Structure 1
Amino acid sequence: MASVAQENPGISPTSARLKLYSFWRSTCSWRVRIALNLKGLPYDYKAVNFGKGEHLSEEFTKLSPLRFVPALVHGDVIVADSLAILLYLEDKFPEHPLLPDDLHLKAISLQAATLVGSNIQPFQNGGLLILIEEKFGPEEHLAWPKHFIEKGFTALEKLLKDVAGKYSVGDQLTLADIFLAPQVYNARRFNVDMSKFPTLNRINQELAELPEFQAALPERQPDAKA
């Protein structure tokens, strides 16, 4: 597994160095990279090469029993699953909070995050799409994720349109934004017309201008394909 350090000058490292096991195009890993950038936390990037089957290794299975990325190692603490990692980071490193103090907005941010994480992203999982294509044909490979992305984005648009400010819930960056940006990227991969979702599209345009989001882009990761 390849490794590279991600540094943020001016931020003192924690006593235990954070290690992120990631795959460049994984939207789940992408969420964690954004959060680490927003919190200004230096970390070691541990690339997991799925093409070479590194996710199936005994070493990685000990970190992530489902053999999915991301996995975060912080000293003796091991956390797999992006939402669990993000909540761990939020509690462990409360500076630059990613959840609002307002309980209503906090609930909406968490609802938006779980809507994407539980009701959209699983239906575009690479392994699932391969299985669908094998059983139902190549046309379903695109139709399946597009259907669930549009269904989920319709709900997310309704959820956020009355609470959005510059970002998803007001003017503070939250977990809702961290989950939104990678999912819009994948929506475009599956030919979803983002003009149907004006609130989400506008928010994503704001997020795309932020250096912390830009640094987390798949093509900027050390294991990105040429």
Structure 2
Amino acid sequence: MSDTILFDYWRSSASYRVRIALNLLAIPYRSVPIDLLAGEHKQAEHLARNPQGLVPALSIDGQMLTQSLAIIEYLSETRPGSSLLPTDPPGRQRVRALSYAIAMDIHPVCNLGVVFHVMQQSKDPDAARSAWMRKFIGEGLAAFERMLDNPQTGEFCHGDQPTMADLCLVPQIYNARRWTVDLSVCPRAAAIADRCERLPPVARAHPDQVTLSNAKPR
């Protein structure tokens, strides 16, 4: 079987989700950095892996997979004993809804391309970026907090073990703290993320733990 290779960027939320999944499922992998700030994701070599020019891309089982949630669902379906998605249809629907609330509602308006465009429209690009991040991350997490007001919420977003929803939440809370979002709007979500981060497989996926050869802070 060929090696598993993750093409990622150290601070990419989507890549962070997949790193957590690989670690939780104990899937050995090699990381190949794609420097978004240097535009490596738009070069022909990476476009051959992912025509969208995004990260992550995961080479596994003789295939090249893209889109973080689709990757996580694939891993959940192909690795025995995975609990990243519940076994019951209502549970899977709830976990997907929680995951999508972050990955499809918060993340897209806060990704690199959108934020760079916002900065270009402002006379104070850094202030515009910070205000944009705080607004959309804060509002999105406040809505996510309301979704957690559900009897199926346990130690984690759904029940008492991490699911795909937690894999989405952890990077989003990381981003919220990076942009000094007021987390008082989402105490339960923040507590769940903290609980996740105490798990060794999750801690190893943190951007600060990515090897120096992968991390390219700017």
Aligned partners of 1:51, 1:156: CA distance in 2, in Å? Answer: 29
Give 1:164's aligned amino acid: T
Of 207, 210, 219, the residue aligned with 2:199 is 210
Query: Does residue 150 of structure 1 match 2:138?
Result: yes
Alignment: residue pair count: 212
CA apart distance, 1:45:
0.9
Query: Does residue 128 of structure 1 match 2:117?
Result: no
Aligned partners of 1:95, 1:142: CA distance in 2, in Å? Answer: 41
Three-state SS of the structure 1 residue aligned to 2:83 is: coil
Residue of structure 2 in register with 1:97 after alignment: 83
Residue of structure 1 in register with 2:28 after alignment: 42
Deviations 1:58-111 (A, max 9, x none): 111011111110001124311111111111111121322201123322211110
Structure 2: gaps (5+ residues)? none
CA apart distance, 1:174:
0.2
Q: CA RMSD in A?
A: 1.5
Q: Percent identity?
A: 35
Query: Does residue 220 of structure 1 match 2:188?
Result: no
Do 1:35 and 1:178's aligned partners in 2 also have CA atoms closer than 8 Å? Answer: yes
Do 1:38 and 1:212's aligned partners in 2 also have CA atoms closer than 8 Å? Answer: yes
Residue of structure 1 in register with 2:170 after alignment: 181
Do 1:100 and 1:172's aligned partners in 2 also have CA atoms closer than 8 Å? Answer: no
Three-state SS of the structure 1 residue aligned to 2:167 is: helix
CA apart distance, 1:50:
2.6
Deviations 1:165-217 (A, max 9, x none): 11111102100100000000101122211122111011112111110111000
Residue of structure 2 in register with 1:11 after alignment: none
Output the TM-score relative to the length of structure 2.
0.91
Three-state SS of the structure 2 residue aligned to 1:216 is: coil
Do 2:145 and 2:185's aligned partners in 1 also have CA atoms closer than 8 Å? Answer: no
Aligned partners of 1:196, 1:33: CA distance in 2, in Å? Answer: 27
Output the TM-score relative to the length of structure 1.
0.88
CA apart distance, 1:225:
3.7
Residue of structure 1 in register with 2:66 after alignment: 80
Aligned partners of 1:221, 1:62: CA distance in 2, in Å? Answer: 25
Residue of structure 2 in register with 1:53 after alignment: 39
Aligned partners of 2:29, 2:81: CA distance in 1, in Å? Answer: 16
Aligned partners of 1:114, 1:197: CA distance in 2, in Å? Answer: 17
Aligned partners of 1:112, 1:69: CA distance in 2, in Å? Answer: 21
Of 62, 65, 69, the residue aligned with 2:51 is 65
Do 1:181 and 1:207's aligned partners in 2 also have CA atoms closer than 8 Å? Answer: yes
C-alpha distance 219-127 of structure 1, shift in aligned 2 (>3 A) = same
Residue of structure 2 in register with 1:169 after alignment: 158
Give 1:119's aligned amino acid: D
Structure 1: gaps (5+ residues)? 1-14
Aligned partners of 1:197, 1:214: CA distance in 2, in Å? Answer: 21
Aligned partners of 1:50, 1:160: CA distance in 2, in Å? Answer: 33
Give 2:144's aligned amino acid: L
